[in-house]
Chains A and B, each alone.
Chain A
Amino acid sequence: MSELASSGRQQSRMTYLITGARPCGEDAADILVEDGRIAAVGEGLSAPGAEVLDAAGLVVLPGLVDLHTHLREPGREDAETVETGSRAAALGGYTAVHAMANTDPVADTAGVVEQVWRLGEQAGLVDVVPVGAVTVGLRGDRLAELGAMADSAARVRVFSDDGHCVSDPALMRRALEYVKALDGVVAQHAEEPRLTVGAQMHEGDRSARLGLTGWPAAAEEAIIARDVLLAGHVGARLHVCHVSTAGSVEILRWAKSRGVQVTAEVTPHHLLLTDECAEGYDPVFKVNPPLRTDADVEALRAGLAEGVIDAVATDHAPHAVEDKETEWASARPGMLGLEQALSVVVATMVETGLLDWRGVADRMSVRPAAIGRLDGHGRPLAPGEPANLLLLDPGRRAVVDPAALASRSRNSPYAGRELPGRVVHTFLRGVPTVLDGKAQR
């Protein structure tokens, strides 16, 4: 055990009295955190010997849960590590992140998922929950040992070939069926590969003018339509990654109305940015699925407010400078998200009146925890519950400076943009991972 881990254990014995914070934006209350749990919630609490945190004006939310994070370790430790990504997550108010499987080697065996899980334990800043690959090597031709990953120490419940679509319909059907026995879910990267050969950006007026090969909305929608039919047919759970189009929202609404067990996520960047960002060809805005149109952004926000889209997931995708400072077509797709996700949700959903704080807690903590089957996260702010929580200063606005991010990479699409909301403190099972906006490890 590292020194850090043991000091963490010591910290966990500390008692914290958080005063005057507004649980999910409601009336101010004091929260007593003791032995890793919420010991009491109420007005005028006192606790001799407790560390007192004056949280007047801050909103307290259950610790955020990300269903979609790329931590890059093992394989691309120059872009991110489990530790640096965990730090970025804690600073963003997260207490659990799902680490995607497209590492090198791919997380398609019990060995790799346990390695990632252990690295997360050592970092000790968030619960790092590995996602297992659906198919061996993400190649889409045969199932990985899903049961072995589920039974491993990492307790994998979410399986995804993210970055690649499980495009073979027969294989997708089998995957959906098979994970039923594991209480698992297949998280699909919905992209019909034959419709997106060489695709660089949303297919529409802008791609036509910029001469960049188009990524049609139909390539996403066709797969989602197919998969909800398959999930309904075999009675399995399906989760749809990074939904990006208005048409996808329509299909999801239809499927849910028919009782299909489908859940879906939207990224912060798809809630805020459009394909207009591609003007100028700066690949920091290249992402898969691509940024879409104003109408899509509007439909995604409405879908999230309505609950047709269940969760906000970052798709945090760190990339080394040389993979982004290049011509558009050669750049890798993806952008950072962990440290600004909540701010983007505040800007796009709260300040617009589409979601209240309880809604934010639901879409960023409660539902993602339920989808990932994480027992200790997304719980009510009530006595006896694990003290996984964050405190946010909703009024504080700041301009995003990529150089100041905790991520090892700098590919933030929000650089230079003013966003509202600052995460002040984050607690993981009663241990502060962030205090006064500073990571504690």
Chain B
Amino acid sequence: MKRHLLEAADLDRADATLVLDTAAQIDAALAGREVKKLPTLRGRTVVNLFFEDSTRTRISFELAAKRLSADVINFSAKGSSVSKGESLKDTALTLEAMGSDAIVVRHQASGAPHRLATWVRGSVVNAGDGTHEHPTQALLDAYTIRHRLGRLEGVRVAVVGDVLHSRVARSNVRLLHTLGAEVTLVAPPTLLPVGVGSWPAEVSYDLDAVLPKADVVMMLRVQAERMNASYFPSAREYSRRYGLDGRRMGALGDDAIVMHPGPMNRGMEIAAEVADSVRSTIVEQVGNGVSVRMAVLYLLLGGNT
């Protein structure tokens, strides 16, 4: 493993598999235990540095660190940058001086974790940077797929929605490709980046054509505000063409699963009947997120001590 987890490309197949296997071991070790806590990172300090609101991701990392007995500091620094006060670098050096061993960072600017990693000695974990990546989300998604379907090699994954602005999509395309899955991106052309052709993924504009062949359908959150910038004409038209409703779910194979990184826009990209169906792994993903993040922190901080 590298010292930092900044993007999915930091993980080769062996590393990525190690994270998933470690998460599985942690799950097994904690299963049925009343005290869900391991002593592994006792005395180590993990800082959750969040420049952007994300209660669920922060809580997930916090729980992961606490279950490994690390000391956790939550540093919420909404609105960064020079104009609004302390710079990212000064914040990083302050945290470093306080003895942080790992910084889990969420930032609205793509690449902020990369900059951070050049300024601190400890490990940096990217918890979502702008429209770039969210590697632990991809790891928990891969973990969930492997848990449900028993494998990743050759699994056909459709990633549907606002790929252009999605860090979840970027991380998943890279990681799932590394792990041998076949990814198809499905979106209106306006929500696919120019240059998507260079990604290790197929591209389709037609959800109905993709669904029958998919083992996994991963729905991305689509913000209704995007229609104001003419990415699509209306929420209704988007939903009609790219939303996953009960009828479309019927086109899926028997074992196919439906995923969503949350938070969902019910009725927009995903219908309630789909989100609450047995195919849905949405709640499971949340639980798996804690295990996978424990595995990441363990491997970055504790694995070599």
Residues of A within 8 A of B (CB): 200, 203-214, 216, 280-282, 322-323, 325-330
Contact = CB atoms under 8 A, between A and B. Distances in A.
B110 A326 contact: no
Given A211-B132, A211-B170, A327 B195 contact: no
A116 to B, nearest CB: 26
Nearest to A325: B89
Given A203-B195, A329-B110, A322 B133 contact: no
19 contacts: A206-B195, A207-B193, A208-B196, A208-B199, A209-B170, A212-B132, A281-B110, A281-B112, A281-B114, A323-B82, A326-B81, A327-B80, A327-B81, A327-B88, A327-B107, A327-B111, A328-B115, A329-B109, A329-B130
B198 A210 contact: no
Given A211-B129, A211-B131, A211-B133, A322 B195 contact: no
Contacts of A204: 194-195
B130 A211 contact: yes
A209 B195 contact: yes
A161 B199 CA distance: 38
Classify chain B: how many residues form its interface, as a range. 20 to 34
Nearest to A214: B194
Best-surrounded residue of B107, B129, B132, B133 (most CB of chain A within 10 A):
B132
A205 B111 contact: no
A206 B196 CA distance: 10
Nearest to B81: A330
A431 to B, nearest CB: 41
B201 to A, nearest CB: 11
Contacts of A281: 110-112, 114-115
B277 interface: no
A203 B194 contact: yes
Interface in B177-228: 193-199
Contacts of A282: 115
A282 B83 CA distance: 19
B76 interface: no
B195 A211 contact: no
B94 interface: no
Interface in B19-51: none
A209 B201 CA distance: 12
A330 B82 contact: yes
Nearest to B196: A208
